[in-house]
Structure formats: structure tokens, C-alpha cells
Amino acid sequence: MRTAFVIISTAGPSRDLSKGTREQQFWDEHAAYIDKLVDDGFILMGGPFPDEGGAMLIVNANDEAEIRGMLDKDIWYQRGILELVSIKRWEIFIDQRA
């Protein structure tokens, strides 16, 4: 059964904090992969923490192993632009978007 999870990542050692998110190395490849995950219904919401170079994603997944498998395919995690901090299962009680 698919469940909502919150993924928190921090800036990795290859992140250039003097540049914006879209100016990072491999931006085009990362963005294309993220767009595919959105289209597939895996990513529900997400975005960067602009002041610190990390990011948060809310995903719809079966389990943590599925999430790790998806992140392992993202060039930003492969190249150290982002580093995974935590994956937490999340029960959504309030959603004003509906």
C-alpha cells in the first residue's frame, strides 16, 4: 500500500552554495529525472531550501527501500550535490489543496 513519506536532504559536498539551484552542475539531468517522478505520481510536492542548499520532497511510495532506490538513480545524489538526511512516513491530516 502506498503511503506518504517526507524526504529531507542537505547540501552535499559537491553543491556550490554560491550558485542557485538551477545553476548547479547536472541541473538539466536532475530536473528531467524529477519531472519523470512527478509524472509517474511518485513525487507529490517538493522543492529546495534556498538558504542552505538542501531540499524536501513529499512522495507516495510503498516503503523506504523504494524511495532509496529512486534517489539512487538521481544524478544529484550520485554526484554529491544532495545528501539524504531522513525519510519519514507521514500521515497527512490537513491538506488545503483539495
In a domain, 96, yes or no: no
Instruction: Tell me what percent of the residues of the chain surpass a pLDDT of 70.
Output: 99
Q: Within a domain: residue 95?
A: no
Alpha carbons 81 and 88: distance in angstroms, whole number? 21
* DSSP notation for 53-81: TEEEEEEEES-HHHHHHHHHT-HHHHTTS
User: What's the domain count of the chain?
Assistant: 1
**Residue 88, pLDDT score:** 98
Instruction: Tell me the backbone φ, ψ of residue 31, rounded to 5 degrees.
Output: -60, -40
| The model's pTM | 0.92
Please compute the mean of the pLDDT values over residues 66-89 and round it to a whole number.
98
pLDDT, averaged across the chain:
95
Indicate if the pLDDT at residue 31 is higher than 90.
yes
Range of the domain at 63: 3-89
Residue 97 resides in a domain: no
**For the chain, how big is the Rg over CA atoms in Å?**
13
Residue 98 located in a structural domain: no
16 assigned to some structural domain: yes
- CATH number of the CATH domain containing 13: 3.30.70.1060
- If you average pLDDT over residues 73-81, what whole number do you get? 98
